[in-house]
Amino acid sequence: MNGDYAIEAQGLSKHFGNLKAVDSLDLKVPRGQIYGFLGPNGSGKSTTIRMLCGLLTPTEGSATVLGTHIPGRARDLRPRIGYMTQKFSLFGDMTVLENLQFISEIYSYPRTDRKARIEELLVRYDLTEQRRQMAGTMSGGQKQRLALACAVLHKPNLLLLDEPTSAVDPQSRRDFWANLFRLAEGGTTIMVSTHYMDEAERCHRLAILDRGVKVADGTPQHLQATTGMHVIEVLAEDPYAAQSAIHDLAEVASVTQLGVRLRVLISERFDQPLEIVESALTRAGVRAESIISSATLEDVFVAVTMGPEERAA
């Protein structure tokens, strides 16, 4: 186990019958960083997180989490990790204060320090006015803050978050990420799964999963610089006509419309990508402006999750 990594996994796999939910995953998560798992529903993000925290036993492979081997010693690991799901595992018929008190009992938090710790969390996560409110009556953002407070009450070294912002508004998402950065700055390692591109960009490093397979891994900046694709942005008076003119070109791997703009991916095997696009538009009589653009994480995601035949277009 390398002390620089909170998580190291080798060949981690989970099969449900004939379905390979996670397939031979190798993973290294640096300590004290926010590591993102990006992928659509069904890509294996949740299954991986559940294996890493000991809730699921791998079919194949193994992992070392905070120096603890799993699945063999998963029980020893649990007091050192926090786990938060997208459904916010709260007791709706208990107050905010009662939820925190109950979690402190579960983790056997020292009795002499419990009151001070709970008060600290109520202030930190802006829940002081809701302390007597039933958790089931709270807004999505309030429930999210309470769930995070419960997950970190015992001061875990590792925080595993499974799509924790999927049910909240944009402001709550921004506030939530501000809290995550504060935790990381304090030394907590965080693994967070998401399908939001803007959230993935906030991570120090991230892996992209596609149908159980890791198809990319690195910093957002590195992934954007190594897509293997030219990115052409097209601004057209008639985006639909422009897309029709470009879509079936042999050199074009992908065309995505964003409002009045198109994002066109062409393999770096082809020279002069701008001329390829502009020639097609001219032949179709479409008035448009085209420029070479830098790759976004969405471009990266499209590039690494397309089939081999599309990448080789």
| Domains held by the chain: number | 2
**Final residue of a domain: which of 219, 251, 278?**
219
Tokens encoding 210:
């596609």
Indicate if 201 and 153 belong to the same structural domain: yes
**Final residue of a domain: which of 219, 250, 276?**
219
Indicate if 209 and 187 belong to the same structural domain: yes
**Final residue of a domain: which of 178, 201, 219?**
219
Range of the domain at 289: 227-311
Indicate if 32 and 120 belong to the same structural domain: yes
Fill in the amino acid letter for 131: R
Per-residue pLDDT of the chain in tens (313 residues, 90 and over written 9): 456 899 999 999 999 999 999 999 999 999 999 999 998 888 999 999 999 988 899 999 999 999 999 877 878 888 899 998 876 678 888 999 999 999 999 889 999 999 999 999 999 999 999 999 999 999 888 998 999 999 999 999 999 998 888 777 888 888 989 999 999 999 999 999 988 888 899 999 999 999 999 999 999 999 999 999 999 999 998 999 999 999 999 999 999 998 889 999 999 999 999 999 999 999 999 999 999 999 999 999 999 987 655 544 5
Alpha-carbon torsion 222, 224, 226, 227, what sign?
A: positive
C-beta of residue 97 within 8 angstroms of C-beta of residue 154: no
Indicate if 174 and 251 belong to the same structural domain: no
Q: What is the pLDDT of residues 62-81, one digit of tens each?
A: 999 999 998 778 788 888 99
The helix (H) or strand (E) run that includes residue 59 is none
Indicate if 242 and 215 belong to the same structural domain: no
CATH of the domain at 145: 3.40.50.300
pTM score? 0.89
Indicate if 100 and 145 belong to the same structural domain: yes
Indicate if 155 and 277 belong to the same structural domain: no
C-beta of residue 256 within 8 angstroms of C-beta of residue 234: no
Indicate if 80 and 180 belong to the same structural domain: yes
Indicate if 213 and 262 belong to the same structural domain: no
Indicate if 37 and 154 belong to the same structural domain: yes
CATH of the domain at 289: 3.30.70.100
3-state SS, 167-183, equals: CCCHHHHHHHHHHHHHH
DSSP 8-state symbol, 224: H
Residue 243: exposure state from Cβ atoms within 10 A (0-12, 13-18, ≥19): middle
Distance in angstroms (rounded) separating the CA atoms of residues 37 and 207: 5
Indicate if 146 and 236 belong to the same structural domain: no
Indicate if 214 and 232 belong to the same structural domain: no
